[in-house]
Structure formats: C-alpha cells, structure tokens
A and B are shown apart, each in its own frame.
Chain A
Amino acid sequence: MRLLVVEDEIELAGLLAGQLRDAGFYCDCVGSIKQAKDALRAGDYDLLLLDRRLPDGDGLSQIPSFRAIGPKLRIVMLTARDAPADKATGLDAGADDYIAKPYDREELLARIRARLRKAPGVSLPPIRVGALNYDPVSGQILVHGKQLVMHRREFALMEALLRRANQVAARKNLMEDVYSGDEAVLPGALDTLVSRLRRRLADENAHVVVHLVRGRGYLLTEEP
C-alpha cells in the first residue's frame, strides 16, 4: 500500500496525500515525470496516481516507461480532461483506471482499493467507518479496538457493507455475498438480517448507520 502521487499543483497534491494517509495508505508526492521516475527507481510503490498535465510533459505518454521501471505498478490517471475520448485514450495507453477532477474523495479511495485488491501481494490498509475497523486481509472486524464476534451471516453482511463503505451496496450484491446462492432465501430475509445487525451495532455504540436506500440497497456510513 505504498502510493506515489505525481501532481504538480502543490496544494492539490498536499490535500490528496493527506486524504490518502488518513485512509491508512503510505503516500509520497512528486511534481514531475523525472522526479516520478527517480522515485520509482529508488523505492517500491504499488500504485501510481498520475496527473496528465505535468511541467515536463504529458503523463499519459510516459506510462510505458513507468511500467518498464515497475512492472507490477498499478496506474490511475487523474485529470481535468474528462471527455469520453480522453478516458478511452487513457485506458488505451495502459492506465488501469482514469478519474476526473474534481473527484470525490470516497470514489477515489474506492477506486484505489479496487485496483490494489487486484494486485497480488499487496496488503490494503484497514477500512475505518465510525468506530469500526475492518482489516480486509485478516477479515477481522474491530469495534472500539475490541474484536467483533457475530453469527456467520451477520458477519458476512457486515463485511459486505464495510467493503462498500460510504457507497450504496446494491441489494443483489449483498444477497450474493451473504447467501452465496446455495439455498432458497425468503424475500425480506436480507432486511430482517439488516435490522438484527443494526441492533447489534447500536448495542456496541459503533457510531455507524446502515441506511436503506429503497429501490437500490443499503449504505453503511458514519453516523451524521
């Protein structure tokens, strides 16, 4: 979970790095293509957050050379240009993902996590929502530092919601994750499970809400 941010606008770079560190990632910042290459050679990074417009050239065109230095590197392009054509160019050039400024903090983090999950041998930092702390590697859930023990199904639901923290977890995705499609499930079973989970979380003072977005699914987030 070592990230390298390549962005020449100092304020933006600082803010971005701060957000990433808060989320538990280790993060360095550089401001040009040359500095990026130096950093990649010197250190071992898992993911590159690359701005397109850099003082010494177009970030996009350098992707092959970045990959040459670090073959296992994941690359996410950050840019102000977001026409579909630019997205396609970005992906064609070899970027793993492409996100437009101004980006949503949550979306950016979710995308970074998604990229890193697919990278072998990379450990993701724990996901923190309210008083909950979820380590995707060990599968352990802590609340106020104390391990949370639950029934199998409740735990599966908790995990599924935590993995999609701060976003709408679609109903059908939750069903797949919790019930694995091997048994007949009564309609409304998921909702009953959610109420049980809510009660448990309230009991534990987890400071989170599991919000119903009727017609879409559930949303786990910090208590407002």
Chain B
Amino acid sequence: MREQPSLTLRLSIYLLMGQLICFAITMLGVHIAPLFGRDPAAIIEWNFLAEMRARSNVVNSLVRTQNGEVRIVPSAALRDLVKAHPTLQYAVFDPGTGAPLNGSSPELAGALSGHSGIITKEMTSFRIRGLLDSELSGSYLAQDTPFGRMMVATHGYIFEWRDFLYHIFNDVIDTFEQNAFTIGMAIAIGWITLSKGLAPLAVVAQRVKSIDIATLNERIPLGNTPREVAPLVETINEALSRLDASVSRQQRFLANAAHELRTPLAIMNSRISGPDQASLKKDLERDIRRLRNIVEQLLIYARFGGQNDSVRGKVHLNETVESIVDDYALLAVKSSKNLEYEATCSSSYIYGDRRALESVIGNLLDNALRAEPVGGIVVVRAGVSEVEVIDHGEGISDEDKGWVFDPFWRKSEGGAGLGLAIAKELIEAMGGEIKIEDTLGGGATFKVSLPVA
C-alpha cells in the first residue's frame, strides 16, 4: 500500500516549528522593547546588540602560533568589521597572567589594565573615561575558546542590522537548548493523544474486514471513534445500507425470474400433450416468444447489475417504440388483431437502456395482443417521455391492479402471470415508473414513464 502521510509526525513537526517561531518572536520582543524604553531596568542601547558578533569574531581570530603562543590574528570577518567600524577595539587577556595576548589593542589593553591586579570580574558594559561623550561602550567577559578560558574585551562596536538577526538566532538556539525538555514533552503528548485517539479506527477496520454478502445487514458501531472521524464510520454504514438494499433487490429479482420462467414452460408442456392441434403451432410460437422475452429481460438485468437510477444513456424514444411495434406487427396480423402506433411528439430522448426498454414494451405488447379480442386494435402511443400500451380486452380489476406486478400473481381463471415483475424492476432501475389504468370502454392501459434526457 502506498505510504500514507502520518498525522502524528505532522503534529510533531508543527509543534516544533511553532515553538521555534514563538521563541523567535519572543526574542524579537525582548530585544526591541528595551530599545524603545519599555523595559527601564535593562540598560540597553542599540550598539550593545553589536557586541555579541564582535566578541565572537575576536574569539574566532585566536590562533596558536608555531612556538605555542596564542595570539590574535584577525580573521577576514574581523578585518571587515574593523574596516567598517574603525572605533572597534579588542583585547584578549590570559586569565592566569592577566597579560594581554599579542594582537590586542594596546589602547584598550592599557585602559583595562588600569584595574590593577589579576582581573577576573566580568563587566557586561563599560565606558572609557575620555570617551564618555561618545556612544561607545565595551564589554569584558570570560569566554571559552579553543585555547581555554580567556577574558575577551571588545569596545566601540557599532550596531548593524545584521546584528539583530545574529542575536535572535543565537538566542533562539540557546533558549531551545534550555527548553528542550518542555518541547520534547509537548511533542510526546501530541503523539500519544493522536495515537490513542485514532486507535479505534483500527477496530473499525477489523469490523469492516468481516463484512461480506451474507453479513450486509450488519453495521459498524461507533464505539470510541473520535467525533472528528465519526463521519467516516457513518458513511460506511450508509454505503452498507445501499449495498444491502441492492443485493436484496437482485436476489428478489432472480427469484421472480426463475418463477416466471417455469410458467411458460409448464404451459408449453401441457399444450404439447393437449388435444388442440390446430392452433398448436401458433400457441407455441407465442409461448416461445414469451420465454424469449423473459430471458432477454434477465440478461439485460444482469448487465445492469441492479443499480438504482442507473443512467445508461440517451435513448430516442420514438425510434425505439417504432422498432418494437414493427417487430410485433406480424404477430398481430397472424392473430387477426390490429396494431396502431401514435406519436404525440416528433422526437424526444429519455435516459435509460434501449434494450431494456425494448424488452419491456415487447412484454407489454405481448400481453396486450393476447388480451385483445379478435379484430380489435392494440394502440401504442409514444409521448415525450412516456409510452402507453392500450388494449380492449377484459381489463384488470381494481383489486388485481395492485398485484399485477407481483411475481406470484396469476389471473383469476388460473391463467398465466404477465411477466411484469421483471418489467417493473427494469423500469424502476432506469429511474422510471410503470402503472396500469383502465381503458375507456374496457381493457387495460399500461403506462411507462421515463426520465427525460
């Protein structure tokens, strides 16, 4: 399976990034506020922000010469810095001897050496007598260098904007190190909450695994599924309901069809052994046609898969009806009845399956021709999205009207079912409707209506 994105990993990363951003913003605030006098306790001036970088450059400029002496050899960065701000002076003192290293500014070293004795006390900010009017100040701090702990003095550094960023960057790293535990804790909590929260999904997955055609009536219980994920389980259950309904419908249909097939076969069987030889051929032809019809419908239904509202395609209604009427014309003539076709609309399209529609109308025509008295006219009328098949036979009683589409219904005198249960399934699967009314003057009118394309 493709690698799915990890929610817990994402949460952890977001938490981390969030923390970093927070720190950065806080540091920004911490440094800006005093500059605008918001924090009177801190003695901060713009230039002080340059101190850190200056000091760092000095430390990076310390080298040990071949004879073991440690001296200041200005790095390129330090040189650039001095060039940009000539007021910058630096000196590094060996804490043991108190002597300035070679390369230190004599002036600065001199000024600081004014403090007699070994100097170990740090001064975060000092000013030099004689330069009091200037904005210059200096720092004198112990630093861990590659050559041991030294006292590093810098003075006369001038603020540049990049110092701002340098400060923030370093502060963030520092604060991060100090708060590593808190951050780690936050991430851990996030991870655990999410993992535990999503665990019920594994249970749901397990339940879904066991669903099969025989257990379609089961639904997945919500259990401890978190609210945010519950909709997924609900939609799974809805899908199961739809499947269940579809499968039931299909099973019903199969049962109907099998039953329907038995009847014409039984009739044919009895005809063969019966005495009425004269009309045998005609009757058999009709029985076979009926059987064929049912088999056709079965095949069409199988192709459909019993889907609901299955939109198959645009079908030209008139053309389809006309071809069926033509097909049944000969049968009508041979049974001494008439067939009439009327189109109330010159051209229209419906949504459905052409073969299914042909099959259903054929079925209706079959029944109508059988019901129609000799010499009568069966009328087929095509409208914009409906088809009517009208016969003038005995009709169907009001009581029977409700039953006609039931697969087990038989006409009262022990006649045959009309094969309409299957027709109804097909029409409804296309999103249409089929119903019966009485023909004026006697007979049955079957009306099929379909969705307009």
Contact = CB atoms under 8 A, between A and B. Distances in A.
Interface of A: 83, 102, 104, 106, 166-168, 209, 211-216, 219, 221, 224
Nearest to B343: A215
B265 interface: no
A213 B341 contact: yes
B283 to A, nearest CB: 14
Contacts of A83: 303
B330 A106 contact: yes
B342 A215 contact: yes
B334 A221 contact: yes
Interface string B330-351: 1011111011111100000000
Leading 5 A-B pairs by shortest Cβ distance: A215-B341, A214-B340, A168-B326, A211-B333, A168-B329
Contacts of A221: 330, 333-334
A2 to B, nearest CB: 28
A100 to B, nearest CB: 10
B322 interface: yes
A214 B378 CA distance: 10
27 contacts: A102-B288, A102-B292, A104-B327, A166-B330, A167-B329, A167-B330, A168-B325, A168-B326, A168-B329, A211-B329, A211-B338, A212-B338, A213-B325, A213-B338, A213-B339, A213-B340, A213-B341, A214-B377, A215-B325, A215-B343, A216-B322, A216-B325, A216-B326, A216-B329, A216-B341, A219-B333, A224-B335
A212 B341 CA distance: 11
B122 to A, nearest CB: 91
B379 to A, nearest CB: 9
Interface residues of B, number: 22
A213 B343 CA distance: 13
A167 B342 contact: no
B334 A224 contact: yes
Given A213-B340, A214-B338, 5 more contacts: A211-B333, A212-B338, A215-B342, A215-B343, A221-B330
A172 B342 CA distance: 16
Contacts of B377: 214
Contacts, number: 54
Interface of B: 288, 292, 303, 322, 325-327, 329-330, 332-336, 338-343, 377, 380
B292 A209 contact: no
Contacts of A213: 325-326, 329, 332, 338-341
A132 B412 CA distance: 45
B55 to A, nearest CB: 83
B190 to A, nearest CB: 55
A111 B341 CA distance: 25
A127 to B, nearest CB: 15
B333 A224 contact: yes
A211 B335 CA distance: 12
B378 to A, nearest CB: 11
Contacts of A219: 329-330, 333
Contacts of A209: 333
A215 B330 CA distance: 15
Nearest to B327: A104
Interface centre among B288, B329, B341, B342 (most CB of A within 10 A): B329
Given A213-B325, A215-B342, A224 B336 contact: yes
Nearest to A83: B303
Contacts of A104: 327
Contacts of A214: 338-342, 377
A221 to B, nearest CB: 6
Interface centre among A106, A212, A216, A221 (most CB of B within 10 A): A216
Nearest to A220: B333
Contacts of A106: 330
Contact of B326 (A102, A167, A211, A224): A167
B402 to A, nearest CB: 32
Contacts of B292: 102
A46 to B, nearest CB: 27
Contacts of A215: 325, 340-343, 380
A106 B330 CA distance: 10
Nearest to A165: B330
A221 B432 CA distance: 36
A36 B335 CA distance: 40
A213 B330 CA distance: 10
